[in-house]
Structure 1
Amino acid sequence: MTISNSPILGRMLRPLAQTLRTELLEAVVELKPSSGDEERYHELADKNAEGTLTVEERKELEGIVAANTVLSLLRKEARETLSQR
């Protein structure tokens, strides 16, 4: 099971989202990678599709994907919490 399809992470983040002030939840919803990080992700994804990633680049890509997954889940919980207020 990968981080992206593990329901436990959402359940772990939910109580955190529910305790945050509205202003913080709104800030969490707006969180996104920098343009440089986005460019790097696309560069690595292209190399991955071509089969030319180095071991180090694969680790970097996996880290980016994991971070984006956690960020997406946190943003989802923040949006859901805001909609209930």
Structure 2
Amino acid sequence: MNCWGKCSPASPWSNLEPALSSKSSEPRSGAEPERVAPLLASPCVRRCCLDECDICLGCGRSLNEILDWGSADTARRQAICQAAQARLSQRRG
């Protein structure tokens, strides 16, 4: 199936910033600060537009990958980025 959609101007939702974590950055009293691996930044390029196959023409992620991004761990985010990059490369020919 050819998924080369025509899109209207950007959605009003396309410029929303990601929600901030509600976790405090302050260490618990008497405890060592938590060591957490940084998560990958979103590959969003603010050109949000889905084709007929629900693939974003801007970043290459599927709609499900976009929806999963906020709760995805680092390994899942890496897999999403790799799949999205492959889609963009394939589309560009």
- Superposition TM-score, scaled by structure 2 size: 0.32
Bigger relative contact order, structure 1 or 2 (CA pairs below 8 A, ≥6 apart): 1
Bigger radius of gyration among the two: 2
